[in-house]
Amino acid sequence: MFKIFRNIDSKNYRPGYGGLDIFKFIGPGLLVTVGFIDPGNWASNLAAGAEYGYTLLWMVSLSTVMLIILQHNVAHLGIATGLCLSEAAAIYLKPSYSKILLSSAMLASVSTSLAEILGGAIALNMLFDIPFRAGALLITLFVLIMLFTNSYRIIEKWIIAFVSVIGLSFLYELSLVNIDWNAAVTGWVTPSFPEGSMIIIMSVLGAVVMPHNLFLHSEVIQSRQWNLKDEKVIKKQLKYEFLDTLFSMMVGWAINSAMILLAAATFFQTRTPVSELGQAGNLLIPLLGSHAMVVFAVALLFSGIASTITSGMAAGTIFAGMFKEPYDIKDNHSRMGVAISLILSLGILFLITNPFQGLILSQMILSIQLPFTIFLQVHLTSSEKVMGRYKNSVRFKLVLYALGIVVTMLNIALFISFF
């Protein structure tokens, strides 16, 4: 699908930039946002609110700032070069290096898909009492059908609808509880490290930037390209991309914050510990009524489906990029990447006996791989050979490397914590 956008290079074909044209650019960032509100984030956010109330809301603020910077940077790669991160790695790195890095990214994509499918299966179990394995199979089949039969534009609209449902669901949940907004505002801007909270802090901050999202954003941003030879068009694209990324990440910030607020106003107030997503939904029944549990489970289902779709798209992008090709669901390499990620993750889910342990395993693999993707991104976007005049400035490169080091340290600490 993206080949259609990349091949449009007519001097007479330019986008308009009226006052409302910014809305034409909203979409790619929301696909990335889905990875920021996936089932893994749900578990961490609910645990944060249930155990520590409003005091860890600052994690959402900090992680959102980190995410905006990194996703904005990788989107620039796609706009300035017409290549996704995977293609750029295959073209500009030595073949031995690129194969190792991109193979590890595919493994991370499988791990991501495993967690996303699991989240959807948990939601189906909560809503219809469907066994986890059967639910995982249904989620996988639905996502494969969506990806193999729909164009990018249609999928983008579906994702926007899914994100809207998730957001509206939490607005409804929050309308049922009493929020201490003074404590919430303080929590958003004041770093706090309550005793025993480091594992949760690391899990939220260390896992919010996900490898597959960096590959995906550099690809889907190209659905908004028109004329790569026109400097004015590129500059406009860069400007509107930032607004799209900023808006989308703020939507993610709001939804993640809502999760913590809900947990703080319910579970923390009643001193009710929460260790699993299914448990959290069931515990809402005596506190807020059965409708709250249903709304919670529906939002989780949409989160699981949406994040599985984007995880599959990312895998197709990575795998096609290994062959120096753009993502195109009609192309065999893109199809293979999608199938490898989703079917292999489903197979792993069928083999494991403890879904929670499977979720932990997936997060461990992401923790190991993420630093390689971040530093690959920074290396490519800082190269004049790759980016030309749009390469990172020295100051911005230092900021990116600092963020890369912070995220790496958090993920190493998170990996160690599993043992």
Rounded to whole angstroms, how far apart are CA atoms 18 and 51? 48
Rounded to whole angstroms, how far apart are CA atoms 221 and 30? 11
Place of tokens 């500059």: 235
- Render 62-79 in DSSP notation, one character per residue: HHHHHHHHHHHHHHHHHH
pLDDT in tens, 296-325: 999 999 999 999 999 999 999 999 999 999
pLDDT in tens, 103-144: 999 999 998 899 899 989 999 998 999 998 999 999 999 999
pLDDT, block means (10 residues), the chain with 419 residues: 42 44 57 78 85 93 90 90 93 94 93 90 92 94 91 79 88 90 95 84 74 89 60 70 83 91 90 76 73 89 92 95 92 95 92 70 76 93 93 94 87 72
Domain boundaries, the chain: 2-7+21-417
pLDDT at 128: 93
Contacts 24+ apart (CB under 8 A), 239-243: 240/21, 240/22, 240/25, 241/25, 241/28, 241/29, 241/72, 241/75, 241/76, 241/79, 242/72, 243/22, 243/25
pTM, two decimals, is: 0.86
pLDDT at 26: 56
CATH class of 2-7+21-417: mainly alpha
pLDDT at 201: 82
pLDDT at 409: 83
10 Å Cβ neighbour count for 279?
16
Question: ∠ at Cα 73 (95, 303), nearest 5°?
Answer: 95
Report CA Rg, the chain. 20
